[in-house]
Chains A and B, each alone.
Chain A
Amino acid sequence: SQTIHQWPATLVQPVGSPLSLECTVEGTSNPNLYWYRQAAGRGLQLLFYSVGIGQISSEVPQNLSASRPQDRQFILSSKKLLLSDSGFYLCAWSVRGHSNYEQYFGPGTRLTVT
């Protein structure tokens, strides 16, 4: 069966510090991968998606970046965090080659920027 891991589960970082969140998927090959952010009281916002190694598409302008160094690894980074970067970060995957399949979400990382 497939599983998706995210770490850390919670993170408290000062403004201006760097960020690295990691997501890995097991039990599937060539998945589509996604990073979402959920701010308090707001819906999930798609940040980045990837359909293959090294292929990253950004949905919104921001001080965040994403990378996919391996097929089942997706990393979200920032060089300098802003207060507005606080939120619940979720990684998700879906089956490659399908355009109408469900997405499977990880447990999330709660980021608080102080």
Chain B
Amino acid sequence: SQKIEQNSEALNIQEGKTATLTCNYTNYSPAYLQWYRQDPGRGPVFLLLIRENEKEKRKERLKVTFDTTLKQSLFHITASQPADSATYLCALDRVLTGGGNKLTFGTGTQLKVEL
């Protein structure tokens, strides 16, 4: 079955540094991979989607890479701020019969940006 691994340990970094989160997966070849942010007690919020034929995707201070050979995605936040503190979820995308897509989520990595 599909398996997604994200660092279960929290990542603590200093404000202004670049945070790098890792998502590894096995037993699957997704056409798309998505990243979400989740704050405590809230629903996840979509951040970025990257396709299998894209090596890199950027949005403001965010950057995602997708290496289908290594079966790995890296999520970077540059010039990190305390407001970036949250749990970041990686999700593999699979098309469902009849339309729609199924997202298989990792357990997420908690990021804490300290002053």
Contacts and interface: CB of A to CB of B under 8 A. Distances in A.
On chain A, which size bracket covers the interface?
20 to 34
Contacts of A55: 98
Contact of A43 (B34, B43, B107): B107
With most chain B CB atoms within 10 A of its CB, the pick from A98, A102, A107 is A102
B21 interface: no
On chain B, which size bracket covers the interface?
20 to 34
Interface string A52-70: 0001010100000000000
Given A92-B43, A105-B45, A99 B100 contact: yes
A107 B46 contact: no
Contacts, number: 71
A99 B44 contact: no
A41 B107 contact: yes
B101 A99 contact: yes
A94 interface: yes
> 10 nearest interchain CB pairs?
A105-B43, A32-B100, A102-B46, A99-B95, A44-B105, A43-B107, A43-B105, A51-B99, A51-B98, A100-B32
